[in-house]
Amino acid sequence: MSRWFRSEPMEYISLIVNGDAAHDCLSDLGKLGVIQFTDLNPELTPFQRRFVSYVKRCDELERKLRYFGSECDKFGLALESAGTVDSFVTASEEVKASNPAESGNKLLESLETELEGYESQLRELNSYSEKLTTEYNEKVELQEVLEKARRFFMTEAPRIVQNSLRGPPSPGGKTESLLGDNEGGGRSGMDMRFSSVTGVVSMEEKARFERMIFRATRGNCYVRFASIDQPITDPKSGEQVEKCVFIVFYKSLAIETKLKQICDAFDAHRYSLPDMDDAPAVDRMLAENAQELVDSRTVLLKNQDTRFRLCQMLAKSTEKWTWIVLREKAVYHSLNMFKTDVSGMLRGEGWVVSEKLDDVRQAVNHAHADMGTSMPSLVDQVAKPWPTPPTHFTTNKFTYGYQEFVNTYGIPRYREANPALFTAATFPFLFGVMYGDIGHGLFLFFAGLYLLANEKANDNAKLGEMMGGMHSGRYMITMMGFFRSLRRFHVQ
Protein backbone atom coordinates (compact mmCIF):
# COMPACT_ATOMS: atom_id res chain seq x y z
CA MET A 1 0.00 0.00 0.00
CA SER A 2 2.90 2.35 0.66
CA ARG A 3 4.04 1.96 -2.97
CA TRP A 4 0.50 2.59 -4.16
CA PHE A 5 0.32 5.86 -2.20
CA ARG A 6 3.02 7.43 -4.38
CA SER A 7 3.85 6.84 -8.04
CA GLU A 8 7.06 4.98 -8.91
CA PRO A 9 10.33 6.99 -9.10
CA MET A 10 11.38 7.47 -12.73
CA GLU A 11 14.74 7.94 -14.45
CA TYR A 12 15.40 9.48 -17.86
CA ILE A 13 17.78 7.36 -19.94
CA SER A 14 19.49 7.45 -23.31
CA LEU A 15 19.55 4.20 -25.24
CA ILE A 16 21.96 3.50 -28.11
CA VAL A 17 21.44 0.21 -29.94
CA ASN A 18 22.66 -1.44 -33.11
CA GLY A 19 20.25 -1.15 -36.03
CA ASP A 20 20.24 -4.92 -36.62
CA ALA A 21 19.42 -5.68 -32.98
CA ALA A 22 16.97 -2.79 -32.52
CA HIS A 23 13.87 -4.87 -33.23
CA ASP A 24 14.73 -7.65 -30.75
CA CYS A 25 15.83 -5.05 -28.22
CA LEU A 26 12.50 -3.18 -28.40
CA SER A 27 10.58 -6.44 -28.30
CA ASP A 28 12.31 -7.50 -25.07
CA LEU A 29 11.81 -4.06 -23.52
CA GLY A 30 8.12 -4.23 -24.39
CA LYS A 31 7.78 -7.42 -22.35
CA LEU A 32 9.06 -5.58 -19.28
CA GLY A 33 6.47 -2.79 -19.65
CA VAL A 34 8.50 -0.29 -17.62
CA ILE A 35 9.73 2.20 -20.24
CA GLN A 36 8.12 5.08 -22.12
CA PHE A 37 10.03 6.51 -25.10
CA THR A 38 10.04 10.15 -26.15
CA ASP A 39 9.89 11.20 -29.78
CA LEU A 40 13.27 12.41 -31.00
CA ASN A 41 11.91 13.21 -34.50
CA PRO A 42 9.08 15.70 -33.84
CA GLU A 43 9.88 17.60 -37.04
CA LEU A 44 9.12 14.54 -39.23
CA THR A 45 5.64 13.58 -40.36
CA PRO A 46 4.50 9.96 -39.87
CA PHE A 47 5.25 9.26 -43.56
CA GLN A 48 8.83 10.51 -43.27
CA ARG A 49 9.87 8.11 -40.52
CA ARG A 50 12.46 5.42 -41.13
CA PHE A 51 10.24 2.41 -40.37
CA VAL A 52 7.02 3.69 -41.96
CA SER A 53 7.15 0.96 -44.62
CA TYR A 54 7.07 -1.71 -41.90
CA VAL A 55 4.08 -0.03 -40.27
CA LYS A 56 2.26 -0.03 -43.62
CA ARG A 57 3.02 -3.71 -44.03
CA CYS A 58 1.52 -4.35 -40.60
CA ASP A 59 -1.57 -2.35 -41.59
CA GLU A 60 -1.98 -4.53 -44.67
CA LEU A 61 -1.67 -7.68 -42.57
CA GLU A 62 -4.32 -6.30 -40.19
CA ARG A 63 -6.64 -5.74 -43.15
CA LYS A 64 -6.22 -9.36 -44.23
CA LEU A 65 -6.87 -10.61 -40.71
CA ARG A 66 -10.04 -8.51 -40.45
CA TYR A 67 -11.14 -10.05 -43.73
CA PHE A 68 -10.53 -13.53 -42.31
CA GLY A 69 -12.56 -12.62 -39.24
CA SER A 70 -15.49 -11.35 -41.31
CA GLU A 71 -15.50 -14.53 -43.41
CA CYS A 72 -15.50 -16.66 -40.25
CA ASP A 73 -18.45 -14.64 -38.93
CA LYS A 74 -20.46 -15.52 -42.04
CA PHE A 75 -20.27 -19.18 -41.03
CA GLY A 76 -20.83 -18.43 -37.34
CA LEU A 77 -17.30 -19.54 -36.41
CA ALA A 78 -15.83 -18.00 -33.27
CA LEU A 79 -12.13 -17.14 -33.38
CA GLU A 80 -10.11 -19.45 -31.18
CA SER A 81 -8.53 -17.63 -28.25
CA ALA A 82 -4.77 -17.14 -28.28
CA GLY A 83 -4.70 -17.61 -24.51
CA THR A 84 -3.39 -15.14 -21.98
CA VAL A 85 -0.79 -12.50 -22.67
CA ASP A 86 1.72 -14.38 -20.52
CA SER A 87 1.24 -17.60 -22.46
CA PHE A 88 1.54 -15.70 -25.76
CA VAL A 89 4.80 -14.08 -24.65
CA THR A 90 6.16 -17.42 -23.45
CA ALA A 91 5.26 -19.12 -26.73
CA SER A 92 6.90 -16.28 -28.69
CA GLU A 93 10.11 -16.70 -26.70
CA GLU A 94 10.12 -20.44 -27.37
CA VAL A 95 9.66 -19.88 -31.10
CA LYS A 96 12.43 -17.28 -31.08
CA ALA A 97 14.78 -19.63 -29.18
CA SER A 98 14.14 -22.52 -31.57
CA ASN A 99 14.38 -20.35 -34.70
CA PRO A 100 16.30 -17.09 -34.10
CA ALA A 101 15.95 -16.06 -37.75
CA GLU A 102 12.16 -15.96 -37.42
CA SER A 103 11.98 -12.43 -36.05
CA GLY A 104 11.79 -8.85 -37.25
CA ASN A 105 11.66 -8.47 -41.02
CA LYS A 106 11.84 -12.24 -41.59
CA LEU A 107 8.76 -12.73 -39.41
CA LEU A 108 6.81 -10.14 -41.40
CA GLU A 109 7.88 -11.74 -44.69
CA SER A 110 6.79 -15.21 -43.60
CA LEU A 111 3.46 -13.86 -42.34
CA GLU A 112 2.87 -11.90 -45.54
CA THR A 113 3.56 -14.97 -47.68
CA GLU A 114 1.29 -17.21 -45.60
CA LEU A 115 -1.59 -14.76 -45.28
CA GLU A 116 -1.37 -13.76 -48.94
CA GLY A 117 -1.84 -17.39 -49.94
CA TYR A 118 -4.85 -17.82 -47.67
CA GLU A 119 -6.41 -14.55 -48.82
CA SER A 120 -6.05 -15.33 -52.53
CA GLN A 121 -7.48 -18.81 -51.97
CA LEU A 122 -10.42 -17.45 -49.97
CA ARG A 123 -11.15 -14.68 -52.46
CA GLU A 124 -11.07 -17.13 -55.34
CA LEU A 125 -13.51 -19.41 -53.52
CA ASN A 126 -15.78 -16.45 -52.72
CA SER A 127 -15.72 -15.27 -56.33
CA TYR A 128 -16.54 -18.78 -57.52
CA SER A 129 -19.27 -19.04 -54.88
CA GLU A 130 -20.84 -15.79 -56.04
CA LYS A 131 -20.83 -17.02 -59.63
CA LEU A 132 -22.30 -20.40 -58.65
CA THR A 133 -24.95 -18.74 -56.47
CA THR A 134 -25.96 -16.47 -59.35
CA GLU A 135 -26.29 -19.43 -61.72
CA TYR A 136 -28.18 -21.44 -59.12
CA ASN A 137 -30.56 -18.53 -58.44
CA GLU A 138 -31.23 -18.14 -62.16
CA LYS A 139 -32.16 -21.80 -62.45
CA VAL A 140 -34.38 -21.61 -59.35
CA GLU A 141 -36.12 -18.52 -60.71
CA LEU A 142 -36.56 -20.10 -64.15
CA GLN A 143 -38.07 -23.19 -62.55
CA GLU A 144 -40.50 -21.06 -60.57
CA VAL A 145 -41.38 -18.95 -63.63
CA LEU A 146 -42.10 -22.05 -65.71
CA GLU A 147 -44.29 -23.64 -63.05
CA LYS A 148 -46.18 -20.46 -62.20
CA ALA A 149 -46.67 -19.50 -65.87
CA ARG A 150 -47.94 -22.96 -66.83
CA ARG A 151 -50.38 -22.94 -63.93
CA PHE A 152 -51.58 -19.49 -64.95
CA PHE A 153 -52.13 -20.44 -68.60
CA MET A 154 -53.91 -23.63 -67.59
CA THR A 155 -56.31 -22.05 -65.08
CA GLU A 156 -56.73 -18.30 -65.48
CA ALA A 157 -55.88 -17.58 -69.12
CA PRO A 158 -58.92 -19.35 -70.63
CA ARG A 159 -61.27 -17.52 -68.29
CA ILE A 160 -59.70 -14.14 -69.11
CA VAL A 161 -59.86 -14.73 -72.84
CA GLN A 162 -63.47 -15.89 -72.55
CA ASN A 163 -64.44 -12.72 -70.72
CA SER A 164 -62.56 -10.44 -73.13
CA LEU A 165 -64.39 -11.87 -76.13
CA ARG A 166 -67.80 -10.97 -74.69
CA GLY A 167 -69.18 -7.49 -75.16
CA PRO A 168 -71.42 -5.46 -72.85
CA PRO A 169 -74.78 -6.97 -71.98
CA SER A 170 -77.57 -6.33 -74.56
CA PRO A 171 -80.95 -4.88 -73.65
CA GLY A 172 -82.33 -8.39 -73.61
CA GLY A 173 -79.85 -9.41 -70.94
CA LYS A 174 -77.65 -11.41 -73.33
CA THR A 175 -74.01 -10.81 -74.22
CA GLU A 176 -72.63 -10.60 -77.71
CA SER A 177 -69.16 -10.67 -79.16
CA LEU A 178 -67.53 -7.32 -79.80
CA LEU A 179 -66.48 -8.55 -83.24
CA GLY A 180 -69.11 -10.23 -85.21
CA ASP A 181 -68.34 -13.22 -87.34
CA ASN A 182 -68.62 -11.18 -90.54
CA GLU A 183 -66.81 -8.08 -89.23
CA GLY A 184 -63.91 -10.10 -87.97
CA GLY A 185 -63.11 -11.17 -91.48
CA GLY A 186 -63.46 -14.82 -90.48
CA ARG A 187 -60.77 -14.46 -87.81
CA SER A 188 -61.55 -16.08 -84.49
CA GLY A 189 -61.00 -14.13 -81.22
CA MET A 190 -58.71 -16.87 -79.94
CA ASP A 191 -56.23 -15.91 -82.66
CA MET A 192 -55.78 -12.44 -81.20
CA ARG A 193 -52.86 -13.45 -79.02
CA PHE A 194 -51.13 -11.12 -76.55
CA SER A 195 -47.38 -10.89 -76.04
CA SER A 196 -46.02 -11.36 -72.53
CA VAL A 197 -42.98 -10.57 -70.37
CA THR A 198 -42.19 -12.93 -67.50
CA GLY A 199 -39.60 -12.69 -64.79
CA VAL A 200 -38.84 -12.34 -61.09
CA VAL A 201 -38.82 -9.22 -58.92
CA SER A 202 -38.20 -8.58 -55.23
CA MET A 203 -41.25 -8.58 -52.96
CA GLU A 204 -40.16 -5.21 -51.55
CA GLU A 205 -40.36 -3.70 -55.03
CA LYS A 206 -43.62 -5.42 -56.02
CA ALA A 207 -45.98 -2.51 -55.29
CA ARG A 208 -43.71 0.12 -56.88
CA PHE A 209 -43.06 -2.16 -59.85
CA GLU A 210 -46.78 -2.66 -60.50
CA ARG A 211 -47.54 1.02 -60.04
CA MET A 212 -44.78 2.02 -62.47
CA ILE A 213 -46.06 -0.38 -65.14
CA PHE A 214 -49.60 0.98 -64.78
CA ARG A 215 -48.44 4.59 -65.12
CA ALA A 216 -45.99 3.98 -67.96
CA THR A 217 -48.49 1.98 -70.06
CA ARG A 218 -51.58 3.93 -68.95
CA GLY A 219 -53.26 0.76 -67.82
CA ASN A 220 -52.87 -1.02 -71.16
CA CYS A 221 -51.30 -4.08 -69.54
CA TYR A 222 -52.50 -7.03 -67.54
CA VAL A 223 -50.14 -7.94 -64.66
CA ARG A 224 -50.22 -11.01 -62.45
CA PHE A 225 -47.91 -11.94 -59.52
CA ALA A 226 -47.19 -15.21 -57.72
CA SER A 227 -44.90 -15.35 -54.70
CA ILE A 228 -41.98 -17.79 -54.48
CA ASP A 229 -42.28 -19.95 -51.38
CA GLN A 230 -38.60 -20.18 -50.46
CA PRO A 231 -36.39 -17.07 -50.18
CA ILE A 232 -33.49 -16.69 -52.60
CA THR A 233 -29.93 -16.01 -51.42
CA ASP A 234 -28.37 -12.78 -52.64
CA PRO A 235 -24.97 -13.71 -54.17
CA LYS A 236 -23.22 -10.53 -52.99
CA SER A 237 -24.54 -9.96 -49.47
CA GLY A 238 -25.56 -13.54 -48.66
CA GLU A 239 -28.93 -12.35 -47.27
CA GLN A 240 -32.22 -14.15 -47.90
CA VAL A 241 -34.49 -12.15 -50.24
CA GLU A 242 -38.20 -12.75 -50.77
CA LYS A 243 -39.13 -12.66 -54.47
CA CYS A 244 -42.18 -13.19 -56.66
CA VAL A 245 -42.87 -14.21 -60.25
CA PHE A 246 -44.61 -11.69 -62.53
CA ILE A 247 -46.21 -12.03 -65.94
CA VAL A 248 -47.25 -8.96 -67.96
CA PHE A 249 -49.50 -9.15 -71.05
CA TYR A 250 -49.35 -6.36 -73.63
CA LYS A 251 -50.23 -5.71 -77.26
CA SER A 252 -47.76 -3.08 -78.51
CA LEU A 253 -44.05 -2.99 -79.38
CA ALA A 254 -43.78 0.44 -77.73
CA ILE A 255 -45.14 -1.03 -74.52
CA GLU A 256 -42.64 -3.89 -74.77
CA THR A 257 -39.75 -1.42 -74.87
CA LYS A 258 -41.09 0.40 -71.82
CA LEU A 259 -41.57 -2.87 -69.91
CA LYS A 260 -37.99 -3.94 -70.55
CA GLN A 261 -36.70 -0.59 -69.32
CA ILE A 262 -38.84 -0.83 -66.17
CA CYS A 263 -37.57 -4.35 -65.50
CA ASP A 264 -33.96 -3.19 -65.80
CA ALA A 265 -34.63 -0.23 -63.49
CA PHE A 266 -36.07 -2.47 -60.77
CA ASP A 267 -33.36 -5.13 -61.22
CA ALA A 268 -36.01 -7.64 -62.26
CA HIS A 269 -34.74 -10.75 -64.06
CA ARG A 270 -36.60 -11.51 -67.31
CA TYR A 271 -36.87 -15.04 -68.69
CA SER A 272 -37.91 -16.24 -72.15
CA LEU A 273 -40.51 -18.99 -72.13
CA PRO A 274 -41.57 -21.42 -74.83
CA ASP A 275 -45.08 -21.48 -76.23
CA MET A 276 -47.29 -22.51 -73.33
CA ASP A 277 -49.62 -24.35 -75.72
CA ASP A 278 -46.77 -26.72 -76.55
CA ALA A 279 -47.02 -28.88 -73.41
CA PRO A 280 -44.23 -31.37 -74.36
CA ALA A 281 -41.74 -28.54 -74.92
CA VAL A 282 -42.64 -26.99 -71.55
CA ASP A 283 -42.30 -30.34 -69.76
CA ARG A 284 -38.97 -31.01 -71.46
CA MET A 285 -37.64 -27.59 -70.43
CA LEU A 286 -38.81 -28.15 -66.85
CA ALA A 287 -37.07 -31.53 -66.67
CA GLU A 288 -33.80 -30.23 -68.14
CA ASN A 289 -33.75 -27.22 -65.84
CA ALA A 290 -34.54 -29.41 -62.80
CA GLN A 291 -31.54 -31.64 -63.60
CA GLU A 292 -29.28 -28.62 -64.06
CA LEU A 293 -30.62 -27.28 -60.78
CA VAL A 294 -29.56 -30.45 -58.94
CA ASP A 295 -26.08 -30.37 -60.50
CA SER A 296 -25.63 -26.67 -59.71
CA ARG A 297 -26.69 -27.21 -56.10
CA THR A 298 -24.19 -30.07 -55.70
CA VAL A 299 -21.30 -27.93 -56.93
CA LEU A 300 -22.44 -25.00 -54.77
CA LEU A 301 -22.55 -27.15 -51.63
CA LYS A 302 -19.04 -28.49 -52.32
CA ASN A 303 -17.79 -24.92 -52.69
CA GLN A 304 -19.44 -23.92 -49.40
CA ASP A 305 -17.93 -26.94 -47.67
CA THR A 306 -14.44 -26.01 -48.94
CA ARG A 307 -14.88 -22.42 -47.73
CA PHE A 308 -16.14 -23.64 -44.37
CA ARG A 309 -13.14 -25.91 -43.82
CA LEU A 310 -10.74 -23.13 -44.82
CA CYS A 311 -12.43 -20.66 -42.46
CA GLN A 312 -12.43 -23.31 -39.74
CA MET A 313 -8.67 -23.58 -40.08
CA LEU A 314 -8.21 -19.79 -40.17
CA ALA A 315 -10.34 -19.35 -37.04
CA LYS A 316 -7.76 -21.33 -35.05
CA SER A 317 -4.89 -18.94 -35.84
CA THR A 318 -6.42 -15.55 -36.69
CA GLU A 319 -6.27 -14.16 -33.14
CA LYS A 320 -2.71 -15.38 -32.64
CA TRP A 321 -1.66 -13.75 -35.92
CA THR A 322 -3.44 -10.56 -34.89
CA TRP A 323 -1.48 -10.40 -31.64
CA ILE A 324 1.79 -10.97 -33.53
CA VAL A 325 0.99 -8.17 -36.00
CA LEU A 326 -0.01 -5.78 -33.21
CA ARG A 327 3.23 -6.53 -31.37
CA GLU A 328 5.30 -5.92 -34.50
CA LYS A 329 3.40 -2.72 -35.26
CA ALA A 330 4.02 -1.43 -31.73
CA VAL A 331 7.73 -2.23 -32.05
CA TYR A 332 8.07 -0.30 -35.31
CA HIS A 333 6.03 2.62 -33.97
CA SER A 334 8.51 2.84 -31.09
CA LEU A 335 11.49 2.54 -33.46
CA ASN A 336 10.12 5.52 -35.41
CA MET A 337 10.79 7.62 -32.28
CA PHE A 338 14.50 6.74 -32.44
CA LYS A 339 17.04 8.97 -34.14
CA THR A 340 19.54 7.61 -36.63
CA ASP A 341 23.08 7.84 -35.30
CA VAL A 342 26.48 7.10 -36.84
CA SER A 343 27.58 3.68 -38.11
CA GLY A 344 24.12 2.14 -38.27
CA MET A 345 23.29 2.89 -34.65
CA LEU A 346 19.94 4.11 -33.35
CA ARG A 347 19.51 6.42 -30.38
CA GLY A 348 16.40 6.64 -28.26
CA GLU A 349 15.44 8.36 -25.03
CA GLY A 350 12.70 7.74 -22.54
CA TRP A 351 11.51 7.34 -18.96
CA VAL A 352 12.03 4.11 -17.06
CA VAL A 353 11.03 2.98 -13.56
CA SER A 354 14.11 3.48 -11.37
CA GLU A 355 14.17 0.04 -9.79
CA LYS A 356 13.85 -1.60 -13.23
CA LEU A 357 16.87 0.17 -14.73
CA ASP A 358 19.09 -2.88 -14.29
CA ASP A 359 16.48 -5.08 -15.98
CA VAL A 360 16.44 -2.70 -18.94
CA ARG A 361 20.23 -2.86 -19.27
CA GLN A 362 20.14 -6.64 -19.07
CA ALA A 363 17.44 -6.90 -21.74
CA VAL A 364 19.36 -4.62 -24.13
CA ASN A 365 22.62 -6.52 -23.64
CA HIS A 366 20.85 -9.86 -24.03
CA ALA A 367 19.30 -8.78 -27.35
CA HIS A 368 22.71 -7.68 -28.69
CA ALA A 369 24.36 -10.89 -27.48
CA ASP A 370 21.78 -13.04 -29.31
CA MET A 371 22.40 -11.11 -32.53
CA GLY A 372 26.18 -11.51 -32.19
CA THR A 373 26.86 -7.88 -33.06
CA SER A 374 30.29 -6.42 -32.46
CA MET A 375 29.03 -2.92 -31.69
CA PRO A 376 28.24 -2.55 -27.97
CA SER A 377 24.99 -1.08 -26.66
CA LEU A 378 24.72 1.79 -24.23
CA VAL A 379 22.11 2.56 -21.58
CA ASP A 380 22.93 5.66 -19.57
CA GLN A 381 21.10 8.18 -17.42
CA VAL A 382 20.86 11.71 -18.80
CA ALA A 383 19.48 15.01 -17.60
CA LYS A 384 15.69 15.21 -17.51
CA PRO A 385 14.29 17.27 -20.44
CA TRP A 386 11.33 18.56 -18.37
CA PRO A 387 10.61 18.64 -14.65
CA THR A 388 7.52 16.39 -14.59
CA PRO A 389 8.10 12.69 -15.41
CA PRO A 390 5.16 10.43 -16.29
CA THR A 391 3.10 8.80 -13.54
CA HIS A 392 3.29 5.04 -13.04
CA PHE A 393 1.44 3.08 -10.36
CA THR A 394 2.03 -0.58 -9.61
CA THR A 395 -1.38 -2.21 -9.13
CA ASN A 396 -2.71 -5.68 -8.42
CA LYS A 397 -6.08 -7.42 -8.88
CA PHE A 398 -7.65 -5.54 -5.97
CA THR A 399 -6.28 -2.06 -6.60
CA TYR A 400 -6.60 -2.07 -10.39
CA GLY A 401 -10.34 -1.33 -10.38
CA TYR A 402 -10.03 1.59 -7.96
CA GLN A 403 -7.08 3.04 -9.88
CA GLU A 404 -9.02 2.94 -13.15
CA PHE A 405 -12.00 4.54 -11.39
CA VAL A 406 -9.85 7.46 -10.23
CA ASN A 407 -8.13 7.78 -13.62
CA THR A 408 -11.49 8.52 -15.25
CA TYR A 409 -11.47 11.83 -13.32
CA GLY A 410 -7.78 12.58 -13.76
CA ILE A 411 -4.35 11.00 -13.43
CA PRO A 412 -2.30 12.19 -10.42
CA ARG A 413 0.90 14.08 -11.11
CA TYR A 414 4.30 12.51 -10.59
CA ARG A 415 4.92 11.49 -6.94
CA GLU A 416 1.64 13.12 -5.90
CA ALA A 417 -0.53 11.42 -3.26
CA ASN A 418 -2.72 8.85 -5.01
CA PRO A 419 -6.46 9.41 -4.35
CA ALA A 420 -7.16 5.78 -5.33
CA LEU A 421 -5.86 4.64 -1.92
CA PHE A 422 -8.46 6.75 -0.10
CA THR A 423 -11.10 5.76 -2.65
CA ALA A 424 -10.61 2.08 -1.91
CA ALA A 425 -11.15 2.75 1.81
CA THR A 426 -14.07 5.19 1.65
CA PHE A 427 -16.00 4.76 -1.60
CA PRO A 428 -17.70 1.38 -0.85
CA PHE A 429 -18.63 2.57 2.67
CA LEU A 430 -20.08 5.88 1.46
CA PHE A 431 -21.95 4.04 -1.28
CA GLY A 432 -23.59 1.90 1.41
CA VAL A 433 -24.44 4.98 3.49
CA MET A 434 -26.16 6.72 0.57
CA TYR A 435 -27.96 3.70 -0.91
CA GLY A 436 -28.58 1.37 2.01
CA ASP A 437 -30.86 -1.38 0.72
CA ILE A 438 -30.63 -5.01 1.75
CA GLY A 439 -32.16 -6.43 -1.43
CA HIS A 440 -29.99 -4.60 -3.92
CA GLY A 441 -27.01 -4.84 -1.58
CA LEU A 442 -27.22 -8.64 -1.37
CA PHE A 443 -27.64 -8.80 -5.13
CA LEU A 444 -24.43 -6.79 -5.66
CA PHE A 445 -22.62 -8.79 -2.98
CA PHE A 446 -23.48 -12.18 -4.48
CA ALA A 447 -22.81 -10.91 -7.99
CA GLY A 448 -19.33 -9.86 -6.83
CA LEU A 449 -18.78 -13.25 -5.19
CA TYR A 450 -19.82 -14.95 -8.43
CA LEU A 451 -17.28 -12.86 -10.38
CA LEU A 452 -14.58 -13.71 -7.85
CA ALA A 453 -15.41 -17.42 -8.05
CA ASN A 454 -15.06 -17.33 -11.84
CA GLU A 455 -11.99 -15.12 -11.82
CA LYS A 456 -9.62 -17.55 -13.56
CA ALA A 457 -12.18 -18.50 -16.20
CA ASN A 458 -12.95 -14.85 -17.00
CA ASP A 459 -9.24 -13.96 -17.17
CA ASN A 460 -8.86 -16.29 -20.17
CA ALA A 461 -12.29 -15.63 -21.72
CA LYS A 462 -13.17 -13.09 -24.40
CA LEU A 463 -15.47 -10.70 -22.57
CA GLY A 464 -17.51 -7.83 -23.96
CA GLU A 465 -17.04 -4.22 -22.98
CA MET A 466 -19.60 -4.26 -20.16
CA MET A 467 -18.67 -7.71 -18.83
CA GLY A 468 -14.98 -6.83 -19.02
CA GLY A 469 -15.58 -3.72 -16.92
CA MET A 470 -17.50 -5.73 -14.32
CA HIS A 471 -14.69 -8.28 -14.19
CA SER A 472 -12.10 -5.52 -13.65
CA GLY A 473 -14.16 -4.05 -10.78
CA ARG A 474 -15.19 -7.36 -9.18
CA TYR A 475 -13.60 -6.50 -5.82
CA MET A 476 -15.21 -3.07 -5.83
CA ILE A 477 -18.64 -4.55 -6.61
CA THR A 478 -18.28 -7.09 -3.79
CA MET A 479 -17.35 -4.42 -1.25
CA MET A 480 -20.12 -2.08 -2.42
CA GLY A 481 -22.71 -4.82 -1.97
CA PHE A 482 -21.32 -5.77 1.43
CA PHE A 483 -21.41 -2.24 2.84
CA ARG A 484 -24.83 -1.57 1.31
CA SER A 485 -26.31 -4.62 3.06
CA LEU A 486 -24.39 -3.91 6.29
CA ARG A 487 -25.65 -0.33 6.43
CA ARG A 488 -29.25 -1.52 6.05
CA PHE A 489 -28.82 -4.02 8.93
CA HIS A 490 -27.25 -1.25 11.04
CA VAL A 491 -30.19 1.08 10.38
CA GLN A 492 -32.70 -1.58 11.41
State pTM to two decimals: 0.76
Band (186; pLDDT cuts 50, 70, 90): very low
| Least confident stretch, 98-107, 230-239, 246-255 | 98-107
Reported as a single tens digit per residue, the pLDDT across 51-86 is 999 999 999 999 999 999 999 998 999 888 887 777
Residue 323's pLDDT is: 92
Mean pLDDT of 278-282: 83
Write out pLDDT tens, residues 357-396: 999 988 888 887 776 666 677 888 888 777 688 898 888 8
Residue 386 vs residues 70, 163, 347, 375, 382: alpha-carbon distances, Å: 46, 97, 19, 31, 12
Mean pLDDT computed over every residue of the chain: 84
Considering only 37-41, 243-247, 350-354, 482-486, which range has the smallest mean pLDDT?
482-486
Mean pLDDT of 448-459: 88
> Is pLDDT of 244 > 90?
yes
Average pLDDT over residues 106-125: 92
User: What's the pLDDT at 174?
Assistant: 43
pLDDT of amino acid 488: 59
Residue 443 scores a pLDDT above 70: yes
Please check the confidence at residue 184 and state whether its pLDDT lies above 50.
Answer: no
What is the mean pLDDT of the segment spanning 163-172? 50
Answer whether residue 102 shows pLDDT above 80: no
pLDDT band at residue 188 under the 50/70/90 scheme: very low
